[in-house]
Structure 1
Amino acid sequence: MARKPVTTGFAPPALIINLDRDIVRWRSLSGALGGLGIAYQKVRAVDARTKINLIRRIVHREFVYPSENRNLTDAEIGCYLSHISALKRVVRQNLPAAMIFEDDVVFDSQFRQFYQNDLPKFLAVSDIVKFEGIHYPHTSKSGFLIAQGVTSELVIRVKPTLGAAAYAVTKEGAIALLKAFSVADRPFDHKLAYYDRHWIDYAETEPFLARQADYTSNLEHERKVFDLDVDASRRLRRLQNKLKAPSRAALRFAYIAKFLIKRRLRTPRRESLA
């Protein structure tokens, strides 16, 4: 069950997903990371406004979101493919680990300490560490403790948060995610958070050390079309989701049990590498 741990002393670089036209966001986030002394690289985001026709010619399938009975929007497709590009860079550059940011992130005052002290420890026990998230009324506010840090705890929430604006991933995690995410059939943050589907070691920090800034989301103008859809078919899907909730919960508890067992079987030596 052991996997190769993150190298001692390795400082994960930041990969910033940024549209070329979003200059203000790039300057803001790159400046913040520079001020923290964190190395960063730009990952050019896939701009759906100019690339969607090319994408549809290359990818010979529909981008369908089955559980919502709709197609992904152009912006959701661009966002999904942008995260895939970032994950591929982790693998191609043979990075032991990296942080992946959307360009609308701001940091907590304790982020430097989190980055230096807690993140290496957390990456030693989980291939995905999400330190930003969007809470909803149904979201778990706490979870099963995986690791204790100076600034935060690493937990597995039974009902994880959404959002994919700030997370870290090991190379092994990136490889596994690329395989599991080969088909874009739901928004990227849904696929990342629903660990019971991809079955890759996934955990979140409590509290979060990053959050989305008050920029208008590049997805928002399209997302509202679906958020305002309250027809009978949408109500039926919500009822179906409620009926499936017990089976999903059972699968998540099985995943959590697997994670906790692996955690106990890991050797003290692995812990010391963090």
Structure 2
Amino acid sequence: MPAADTPYPIFVLTLPGDEARRQPLLERLAGMGLGHELFFGIDGREGLSPAQEAMIDRTAIRRALRRDLCDAELACALSHQAIYRAILARGLPGAVILEDDAIVDAPFGRFMQTGPHTQADMILLDHRCGRFTRRPVAMLMPGVAAYRVILPPTLATGYVLSAAGARWMLDACTPLSGTADWPCDISRLGAIAAAPRLVGHYEEGEGWTHLQGSRARHKQDTLPKGRGRLLSRGYWALKIKRARSRRLY
């Protein structure tokens, strides 16, 4: 179904040949009368091209995460960046971005009907872990509050991004040098997160996912080990942020 004539169109990030994977989402969107546009991303399962490698700083990733990202993770991040470029190239004020295994229901439909949502340049509709302000900073719609991101969560399953946010993300995350979900610190963008969440996701082992198990095989460890971490400025900054914030999920 073509994207509806709305200020913030819905982009569904998918790969060629993934008809079965995206069909449940497309059926749910159609059932709510919501148009969408398929955005075909990069399939990193067979490796990345030299041009794509030029947009990645693998050394910085290894230094920051103490592990390597697999090509599929990097391709996912590059695919999101391609959407940001499309937002700017087409002169859109922003977009709602859904990965093709996102789960949407009636609350998401109501959210779309009350948009466009301009409370922040980035609104996370799905998220896990992370830390947020103790009190909401806005109401997205009746019954759904928004909390400012203090420590970035995981998951890029569904979010709203303004054109200004797309420009910021491209500037801050190029070359790729961080996690696949959010390669840069989205708290600096002023990102907010919906609670309750308006987009769902499949847990590992459920549904369709090209990255299943990849994060479990490559655990992150971003702090110095042993006593040295107690002398790290970053360690204490992180402790303070945690003390002044809360988890949502």
TM-score range, shorter chain: 0.7 to 0.9
Q: Quick one: which of 170, 183, 188 aligns to 1:191? A: 183
Q: What does the per-residue CA deviation read over 1:56-98, in whole Å, with 9 as the maximum and x for residues that have no partner? A: 6655853642222233211111011010011111111111121
Q: Quick one: which of 246, 250, 274 aligns to 2:236? A: 246
Q: 1:35 to 1:75 in 2, by over 3 A?
A: same
Q: Does 1:132 align with 2:126?
A: yes
- Given the two structures, how large is their TM-score scaled by the length of structure 2? 0.79
Cα distance in 2, alignment partners of residues 239 and 32 from structure 1: 51
- Residue in structure 2 matched with residue 266 of structure 1 by the alignment: none
- Residue in structure 1 matched with residue 136 of structure 2 by the alignment: 145
* Unaligned ranges ≥5, structure 2: 245-249
Alignment of 1:1-274 (within 5 A): 10-55=6-51, 58-59=54-55, 62=58, 64-65=60-61, 66-117=63-114, 119-120=115-116, 123-135=117-129, 139-140=130-131, 143-148=134-139, 149-191=141-183, 194-196=185-187, 199-213=188-202, 214-227=206-219, 236=225, 240=229, 243=232, 244-248=234-238
Q: Report the count of equivalent residues.
A: 234
Cα distance in 1, alignment partners of residues 25 and 196 from structure 2: 21
Q: 1:88 to 1:55 in 2, by over 3 A?
A: same
Residue 206 of structure 1: CA displacement? Answer: 0.9
Percent sequence identity over aligned pairs: 20
* Unaligned ranges ≥5, structure 1: 1-8, 255-274
Residue 246 of structure 1: CA displacement? Answer: 2.8
The answer (yes or no) to whether the contact 1:128–1:203 under 8 Å persists in 2 is yes
> What amino acid does structure 2 have at the position aligned with 1:114?
F
Pairwise CA RMSD? 3.3
Cα distance in 2, alignment partners of residues 238 and 166 from structure 1: 39
Q: Which has the higher helix share?
A: 1
- Residue in structure 2 matched with residue 263 of structure 1 by the alignment: none
Q: 1:133 to 1:53 in 2, by over 3 A?
A: same
Q: What does the per-residue CA deviation read over 1:36-73, in whole Å, with 9 as the maximum and x for residues that have no partner? A: 22221111121012351445665585364222223321
Cα distance in 2, alignment partners of residues 40 and 237 from structure 1: 49
The answer (yes or no) to whether the contact 2:57–2:175 under 8 Å persists in 1 is no
The answer (yes or no) to whether the contact 2:149–2:191 under 8 Å persists in 1 is no
Q: 1:82 to 1:106 in 2, by over 3 A?
A: same
